[in-house]
Structure formats: C-alpha cells, structure tokens
Structure 1
Amino acid sequence: MSIFAKKVGVSSNTMNDNLDIFTRFVKYSPHFLLAILMLPVCGGLMSVLLPAFGYAPALEQTTIGLQGFMALWQTPGLAQMILLSVVTGLLSTLCAFVITLLILGAFFNSQWLNHIQRLLSPILVIPHAAAAIAVGFLIAPSGMLSRLLSPWLSGREFAPAGILPHDPYGISIILGLTLKELPFLLLMALSVLAQPEFGKTLRQQHKVALNLGYCPMTAFFKVILPSIYPLLRLPILAVLAYASASVEMPLILGPNTPSTLAVAIMHWFNDVDLNLRLQASAGAILQLALTSGLLLLWLMGEKIVKAFFCDSLTNGKRDYGDVFWQKITTILTVCVIAFILLALVGLMMWSVAGFWRFPALLPEQLTLLHVKSALAQMGNPIFNTLSIGFVATISAIILTLLCLEAEQLSAKPLSNVTNLIIYLPLLVPSIAFLFGLVWVQQLMHIQSSFFNMVFSHLLFVLPYVFLSLASSYRRLDPRFAQVGASLGTTPFNVFLKIKLPQLFAPILVAVALGLAISFGQYLPTLLVGGGRITTITTEAVTLANGASRRTSAVYGIMQMVLPLLGFILAWILPKYFFKSAH
C-alpha cells in the first residue's frame, strides 16, 4: 500500500511540476513578446541616434557633434528627397483609403463585395518587389498598356518616350503603393465587419437607415464608417508609415536623381566609404521625424474631418449623389482589378517571351530559355528564403499561441498599450531602427548572419501572425477546455490536445501569412545580412534595376509562387485532415 502511495505521489508531483513549468512559461510569454518587439526597435533607434551625432567607436569617431547632420544638409537634392517621400507616402495611403471606402460604401451588404474580396485577396501574398516589377512592366513606354493602345489609338509604331516609370514626380511610386495597399486595407475593414456581434449590429443599423429613406452609400458613410474607423486606425497608420519609408517600390519604380530619402539612406549605408554611415544615421533620424510628422498629420486630419463633417451626420440629408458615386466607384473598381490583372499577365508573358516587337500585343515566339536559366541560379536564394522564413514563422506562431493562451488563463484581455506595441515594428520606419540594429550587432560582435536575419524577419512576421491568430483563438468555445479541466486534464494537455486541433486551419493560414511576409522582406535581408545571404527578393530587386525584363519577370513570378503555395496548402490540408478524421 505504501509503495502504491509513493508511486501515486511521484506521478502527482511530476504532473504538478509540469503544470507549474507550463503555466509559468505561459504567464511570462507576453512579457517575452513585448521584449522581442520593443528592445530591438528602441535599441535600434538609440543606436542610430549616437552615430548621427558623431559617436561611432567602430569608425574611430568619439566626438559628439553634428557631423552627420552637417553632411546630410549638404547633400544635393535633399529637399527633393524629403518632398518625394512625403508626397508619395501620404497620397498613396490617402488614395488606397478613399478607394477602400468607396468600394465598401458602394457594395456594402451585396454579393459583389465578396467577389471583389476574392479577386483582390491574392494580391496580399505578392511581395512589394514583385508588385513593383509587374507595375513597372505595365506602365513602361513599351509595356502592356502602351501595346494595348498602339497603333490603333495612339498611332505609334514605335515605343513612346514616356516618363513612367522612374518619373521625377513619384507618380509610379504612388500607383504601385496604392495598388498594393488597397487590398490590405479592404481586407482589414472586412475582417472588422466579420466580427459576429459587431458586424450583425452594423448591418442591422444599415438596413434601418435604408428603411428610413437613406441611399446606400450615404447610409454607409453616416452609420457604418464612424463605427469601424477607430478599428481601422492602426492598420492605416501602419500603411502610412511603410509608404513614407518604403525602399522596394521607390527603388524599382522611382527616380534615381534624386531618389526618396529611404533609398538614399540605404545607398549611404552600403557605400564603401564607411564615413557615410554617419550621414546615413542622420538621414535615418530625419526619416523617423518625417514619418512621425505624417502620422501626426493624419491624426490631426481626422479631427479636422470630424469637426467639418460632424453636422452632416445628423442633418437628415438622405442623398449625396449616390447614383453618380455608385457609377464612379464601379468604373474605378473595374479599372483597379483590370490594371492588376493586366500587370500580372504582362509579368507572366515577359517570363516566356522570345522576340517581342513593339507594338505587338503578344510575343512572336515563346521560350523557356530564360526560365531554365534563372531556375538554375535560384537554388541558394530559394534555400535561404525558405529556411529563414520557416524558422521566423514557426517562432512567431509558438510565441503568439503562448501569449493568447496566457490571455485566456488570466481571463484578462491584452491592454491597449500591448496592442500598440505589437504594431510597433510596423509604425516605426524600418530603415531607422534596422540601421541602428546593425550597429548594435556589430558592437556586440554577433557574427551569425543567419540568426541575425531570422531575428530581423521575426520583428515583421510576429505582428501579422498575432493579428491573424488572435481573433480565431479568442473565439474558441471555452466549454471544451472547461470539460477537459474538470476531467483532470492539465492546462498543457488542454492546450495541446483540445485547443490546437480546433485551430488547425487558422494556424496554417497564419503560417502561410508569416511565410509570405518573410519571403517579401528586402531591407532587413540587405542591411542585417550585409549582402552575405541572398534571397529571392534581394535578387529580384537587384535584377529589376539592370537585368533583362525576361529574367526579372521570372524572379518576380517566383516571388509570387512561393507564398501562393503556402496559402494553397493552408486551404487544402484542413479539408484533407478533416476528411480523413471522418
């Protein structure tokens, strides 16, 4: 009897130890997540601040001063760089936001909105570099648009001398960023409306407004928009922060003399003259100030718009030219979708085109020569892309699941400050804190390029993975866990055997999203890797600025294929496993 009691006691103690280890680990996981997001960003900003004021022991600069800023102010074309960054960032975000609102208002509560969502959703998996390459091929003087219009409309037998892309006004950058960020904002808005109780309430309110005689678009802007905009504010600010400090889009579509400020900073950082890093640090601080100013400008604009249109919400007017705006929105939506599809078709055609004389709409011959040649050289970049992406994404998935489990065990939702910190790497210009992060790694003599790369990718993957999984995890029926706990199941087994199987499909989607985000990272790969590790994205951007269109098209397509395969698997695997379970 005593032996049995001892065995039971040993097993009970072991179970309690496991329980304590798991609950303790889960309890501290939110703090670990916040540390992973805050320390590199804040440390990177501090580390870029010191070289900006002349303190860089690695370059034998130990005198505090304004050397970096003095060199920055003397840079030719600095004012144009600043203006180009501000205008392209603000206008592209504003255009994407306005078009999103028009689409939502015109097609709210209709099947057309679901069709538009299905057409635009795949654009999310396309990295910015691939999207820029596709848009560049479309708007080039000998691109698909020009071929569609020549010679029957333009009368041209030869390619015109157009200013797009690489125009000095940033029109190409605005166009590329708008087309890339529009699907993101639209899907963020649809995810808000997909919340069961909240979405149901808004749709009922919209129907009440229609019954009171309000036109559909007027009802949307007066009833729905004021309720959903607060939930869209952070995604909009993240888009604005990215657009104002983007590197891939301006590097492929923008002008070179001068370029945007972020592109110039990247060039200074990678220059063989190491003293230019002081100037690059000062430029990073300036970029941070510009982005912060744009975010504040947007927030101030919210208050101005609210004060200006406040009375219109309650003035009882039921029609603001809805028929006209419905037609305009329909035409605009068709043009956006057609533009995107035409850009993708052009990219695929260039990848297999042989001789293609202008203004012929189709190539005279098709060949796989460039595809085979490019694939023969892609082995190492593809391996690096996949290995970095998988390690960063799996790490993000594990940390996110533990944090969401901690939220449920404590029965307390994450605070607003925590939710804001999750967005921190998306709100702070990456060119600023990544530049400082490189300084920190060099001072700490961290030589593992692969580890550095995975960690830098994790900073950008983690917010998207968390946002993707949070809603599904929070909607889990708590009764299953309560039944398991009442039967003596430990919290670890409840988490592993009850909750995770229910989240199989959302976890696969989060994995696919995390991989897509990692695959598209250009600046972290370039700055943190120092050129020692090449990926599909870095190769695609390099080839887009000098290689043949056909080779660039192949790399652009490969950029799209890799994340697309992830989403296809995330869609197929749950159906296969659930079918096998039955």
Structure 2
Amino acid sequence: MSVVSNKLAASPTLKPHKSADMFSKLVKLSPRFLLALLILPVIGGLISVLLPAFGYAPVLEHTTLGLHGFTMLMQTPGLTHMVMLSVGTGLISTLLAFIITLMILAAFFNSPWLNRIQRLLSPILVIPHAAAAIAVGFLIAPSGMISRLVSPWFSGWELAPNGMFPHDSFGISIILGLALKELPFLLLMALGVLAQPELGKKLRQQHKVALNLGYCPMTAFFKVILPSLYPLLRLPILAVLAYASASVEMPLILGPNTPPTLAVAIMHWFNDVDLNLRIKASAGALLQLVLTGGLLALWLGGEKTIKALFSDLLTNGEREYGGVYWQKITTVLTVFVIGFILLSLIGLIMWSVAGSWRFPAALPDQLTLLHFKSALMQMQSPLYNTLAIGLVTTLFAIIITLLCLESEQLSAKPMSRFTSLIIYLPLLVPSIAFLFGLVWLQQLVNNQAAFFNVVFTHLLFVLPYVFLSLASSYRRLDPRFANVAASLGATPCKVFLQVKLPQLFAPILIAAALGLAISFGQYLPTLLAGGGRIATITTEAVTLANGASRRTSAVYAIMQMALPLIGFILAWVLPKYFFKSAHR
C-alpha cells in the first residue's frame, strides 16, 4: 500500500478533468449497455424467427400471416425421431454428467484426490466441442483405438467390424460425447462454489461434524453438502441442458444423418439453396425453443419432485447407504472417464502423425509430419480469421466486463438478481432459435459486414464466460488500496487504471484465455453470421470431419485444441514474468 501511496502522492493533484467525467459516465452507463447487449439481440432474434415462422417474410415475398411454416415442418419425414433424439440426448447427457459429478465430489470430498482429478480434467475445458467430438469418434469407430486395442487377441477381428458407432440412430455417441465434455465444466463449477472462503469453510466444518457423528463420507456429502451446493449450481446445469438439447457440432459429427437431431436439420434447412426452406427453418427454431424450454421446466419440476419425495432422507438419521461399495464404483468410474478421455486424445494425436496404419495394428507402421505440413499450408486464412475474431471479441468482452464491475463498486450496490440472470440469457436460450432471427436482422441492416457480424454474435457467447470469470476476482479486491489512492486526489479513472487493473493482471489474462477459447470453438454463430464467407479452424474442422481424410481431420482438431491451450499457457506464464520483473 505504501508503494501505491508514494506513487500517487508524487503526482500533482489536479482538478476534475473532462476525461474523468467521461470515465464516470461511461462506467455508470456500462451495466445498462451490458443488459441491452445481451437482451436486444436475443429478443430481436426470437421475434425475427417468430414472424417468418408464421409466414411473414417480405424478403421472400411472403406477407400473409399463416401456419404454412409449421405445416411444412409437420410434413417433414422423421420429425418425431428428430425431436426424440434432441430431447433424449440433451436430457440424458446432462443427467449423466451431473450424476458423475456428484459421485466424484461425494467420494473424494476433503481428499487430495479431488484436486488431482480437477487438474486432470481441467484441460478438457479448453477443447472445443467439435474437436472433442472428432476425438471421441476416432476412439469408438469400428476401426478406432478401442477396436484396435482388443484385436485380434480378444475380439478375433482381423478386419474392422461393422459397428454401430458413431452415427448410431439412438444417439448414444452424442450422449457419450456431450457427457464427457460437460462433466469437467460442472465439476469445476462445483469446486468454484466450494472455493468461496466463507461458504467452503462452513460446509467443510459441517461435513466433519457429520463424520464425527458416524455418517459415512458419501452419505455426509449428500445430506450436508448437497442441499447448500445445488442451488448455486442450478444455472450452470440449466445452461448445460439448454446447450445439449440444441447442440449442432456434436450431433453433426457423432450423430445419425437420417434423420439428424432437430438442431442439425434446422441448420441444413436454413443453409439450403431454396430460400423458402427458411420459413420451415424458422418454424423448426420455434419448436426447438419449446423443446428446450420444456426440458428446463422438466428439470426444475424434477427438483421439486425429488425434494418432496426424498426430503425425509436428510433427517432420518441413517448413517450408511452402502457407501463403501459406492465409493469403489465411483473410483472405477472416475478411472474409466479419465482413461477414456486420455485414450481419445492419444488416438487423435496418433492419427495426425500416422502414415500407413492398417487394422488391427495398435500403432502406426510409420510416423510422418506430412499431414501437418499440407494442412498448415491450407489453413492460413482460417487461422487468421480465428485469431482476429477471437482477439477482437475477447477485448470487447473484457472492457465491458471491467466497466460493469467498476460500476458495481463505485455505486456500492451488488448486482441485481435480474442482471445476474440476464448474463446467462444467451446460454439458456438455444442458440439455434435466436441466431437465425439475428442473422435475418444482420442481413437486412448490412449484409456485407460479415466480419463485424461474426464478432458481434461471438460476443454474445464470450461475454457471459468472461464476466463470470472476472467477477469473483474483482469483487475480492481490497478496497483500502482504492480508498488511499482516492484520498490522495486520484480520479476514479486513475484509480481504476493504476491501482485496480495491475492487481487484476493475472485474472484478466485467465478471462482473456477463456474468452479466446470460447470464441475459437464457435461453429454455428460463425457459419450463420458469416454466411459461409468466413472460414475458421472450427468450421473447417467440422466440414472435414464429415468426409475428409481422418488424418487431416485429426490435424484440424489438434489445432483447435492447441490455440486455446497456448492462450492458457500464456495466462499462466506472463503473470509470473510480470511480477518477477516488477520486484527487480
């Protein structure tokens, strides 16, 4: 604090300047701008989908309201299967990821193994959904790593079998991919809640008391920790459920094609050369919105049902529910999940450098970097677009977030529950529903600004994650530093730039790395807002995954993983170098 005091005392005290007033006004207006930025595109997009769905699309010379779009939709062959596939894969994958998360937390609570599992699963967060789907597909394919490891010594297969995975009609491949991808997210959200100083200390003390009273560890977790933990996990779980029910990348790579999930079918209709199919796509987007809303309502209703049916179990005094056996099952399940993920990544890397690799050989006959060389020559433009869009989007997201959090501190008022909920709005509303309407609006306003349109749509998905990443660190800042600086005559702008931001250097870099990772992985917003004119690493990877060489697909998937990984490595290394240089 003395360093800050001396530095600010050395600078002359100035009267309030116009720039200071501008900064204060900017900070004051930033929360309203944040709400407008998140609400208007989503609501405008939904309205712009609603009108064409009911036949009003002047661009296509449809000006009479009616149910033509829904009639076309209901006549679609296999629509019922599309709906069931979307609902089933979304609900089951979310439920599976949630249950495994709870089992891991219960089995390893207050154990050093929980931190080790967290370190092993954390890198999965930076892997885009498309890359994860490609890796899982390579593992479970008839000639994938699993078949190779059991052949021919166990299975007797000398040739690749006719397997049902991936692209199975039941969506099991989609469920597997989504559950494995969302499990680390839910686990880290739960650990983040438990990392809160006061709440975490309180829950750990209550857990120890339960253990001293004779409760087995897993029973103690479910009876003592879960009732306090779950309400704070509700929004992340609902966001996962909303995404899973309307996901495009995973079903496009792992799911069936005849028919696909509803979200994939809607995307195909919207991109069809027959523009009249956009009426059908709009009706389908509304149906997807209803399905996702129904799933969210079903989940919330399930909460109340479970609470009513099992609330007595919390107070019945029962100490043991076969906890020893459940702990062993959880340990085996955890090892399986981690092993499955690691094997998927190993298989992906091996395919990217494989020369000749005939089935059932477990290893390639030769290794080569030829696939990387040829792919790198072709991906210069997608790589540039990926980096440019990600950097611009993340920079805007960080600036808006910092201004909003500064406004919260200057006004001394915590963020309202309404604003906290709106931050999740683009994550809770299925993107397939409002993006089509947003693209309609963008094409009406300026069809040529493809880069700006893509940046704007990416911002809707990057901003919530950046805000949630930075909020806790900003709110934990010691206010005494800012108070001392203000008492020495520093303007709010100067305090913000010279006192607060240096303390937030490491959290800002982490938020930037997270924002870049989210932007790099966006497929549907890039495809729709760019009108197919802007190619990124993700759009190319998804395209190649459905027909190109397995080796080329592996290279693009690795590039998808490498870009966000580099960002997180820089976010980890730069603060150490920065603070080391500052102490010299």
Could you say what secondary structure the match of 2:247 adopts? coil
Partner residue of 1:394?
A: 395
Q: 1:444, CA displacement in angstroms?
A: 1.9
User: 1:138 & 1:94 partners in 2: Cα distance?
Assistant: 23
User: 1:52 & 1:18 partners in 2: Cα distance?
Assistant: 48
Q: Does 1:155 align with 2:156?
A: yes
Q: Does 1:310 align with 2:311?
A: yes
Partner residue of 2:3?
A: none
Partner residue of 2:8?
A: none
Q: Does 1:212 align with 2:195?
A: no
**CA offsets per residue over residues 358-381 of structure 1, 9 Å max, x none?**
111000011111111001001000
Partner residue of 1:145?
A: 146
Q: Does 1:352 align with 2:353?
A: yes
User: 1:539 & 1:442 partners in 2: Cα distance?
Assistant: 23
Q: 1:446, CA displacement in angstroms?
A: 4.2
**CA offsets per residue over residues 204-248 of structure 1, 9 Å max, x none?**
110011011110000000000000100000000000000000000
Q: Does 1:53 align with 2:54?
A: yes
Partner residue of 1:172?
A: 173
Kept in 1, the 8 Å contact 2:394–2:512? The answer is yes
Q: 1:158, CA displacement in angstroms?
A: 1.0
Partner residue of 2:4?
A: none
User: 1:150 & 1:278 partners in 2: Cα distance?
Assistant: 50
Amino acid at match of 1:473: Y
User: 2:119 & 2:483 partners in 1: Cα distance?
Assistant: 37
Q: 1:152, CA displacement in angstroms?
A: 1.2
Q: 1:12, CA displacement in angstroms?
A: 8.3
User: 1:16 & 1:313 partners in 2: Cα distance?
Assistant: 60
Amino acid at match of 2:28: K
Partner residue of 1:230?
A: 231
1:438-517 aligned within 5 A:
438-517=439-518
Amino acid at match of 1:348: I
TM-score by length of 1: 0.98
Q: 1:415, CA displacement in angstroms?
A: 0.7
**CA offsets per residue over residues 115-141 of structure 1, 9 Å max, x none?**
000000000000000000000000000
User: 1:350 & 1:79 partners in 2: Cα distance?
Assistant: 37
1:264-343 aligned within 5 A:
264-343=265-344
Could you say what secondary structure the match of 1:15 adopts? coil
Q: 1:22, CA displacement in angstroms?
A: 1.1
Q: 1:308, CA displacement in angstroms?
A: 1.0
Q: Does 1:97 align with 2:61?
A: no
Amino acid at match of 1:312: L
Q: Does 1:409 align with 2:410?
A: yes
User: Which consecutive unaligned segments of at least 5 residues does structure 1 have?
Assistant: 1-10
User: 2:301 & 2:371 partners in 1: Cα distance?
Assistant: 51
Amino acid at match of 2:46: L
1:54-73 aligned within 5 A:
54-73=55-74
Partner residue of 1:529?
A: 530
Partner residue of 1:576?
A: 577
Q: 1:13, CA displacement in angstroms?
A: 8.3
Amino acid at match of 2:300: L
Q: 1:504, CA displacement in angstroms?
A: 0.3
Amino acid at match of 1:118: R
User: 2:55 & 2:531 partners in 1: Cα distance?
Assistant: 22
User: 1:115 & 1:547 partners in 2: Cα distance?
Assistant: 37
Kept in 1, the 8 Å contact 2:352–2:371? The answer is yes
Q: 1:14, CA displacement in angstroms?
A: 6.1
Kept in 1, the 8 Å contact 2:13–2:490? The answer is no
**CA offsets per residue over residues 282-322 of structure 1, 9 Å max, x none?**
00000000000000000000001111110000000011100
Partner residue of 2:558?
A: 557
User: 1:503 & 1:560 partners in 2: Cα distance?
Assistant: 26
Amino acid at match of 1:106: A
User: 2:53 & 2:235 partners in 1: Cα distance?
Assistant: 29
User: 1:447 & 1:358 partners in 2: Cα distance?
Assistant: 49
Kept in 1, the 8 Å contact 2:354–2:364? The answer is yes
Kept in 1, the 8 Å contact 2:46–2:433? The answer is yes
Q: 1:19, CA displacement in angstroms?
A: 2.5
Q: 1:15, CA displacement in angstroms?
A: 2.4
Partner residue of 1:42?
A: 43
**CA offsets per residue over residues 48-79 of structure 1, 9 Å max, x none?**
00000000011011011011000000000000
Q: 1:21, CA displacement in angstroms?
A: 1.3
User: 2:17 & 2:396 partners in 1: Cα distance?
Assistant: 27
Amino acid at match of 1:259: P
Partner residue of 1:5?
A: none
Q: 1:447, CA displacement in angstroms?
A: 2.1
User: 1:564 & 1:441 partners in 2: Cα distance?
Assistant: 32
1:417-432 aligned within 5 A:
417-432=418-433
User: Which consecutive unaligned segments of at least 5 residues does structure 2 have?
Assistant: 1-11
* Identity level (%): 79
User: 2:431 & 2:14 partners in 1: Cα distance?
Assistant: 48
User: 1:576 & 1:12 partners in 2: Cα distance?
Assistant: 33
Amino acid at match of 2:311: C
Amino acid at match of 1:479: R
**CA offsets per residue over residues 146-171 of structure 1, 9 Å max, x none?**
11111111111111111000000000
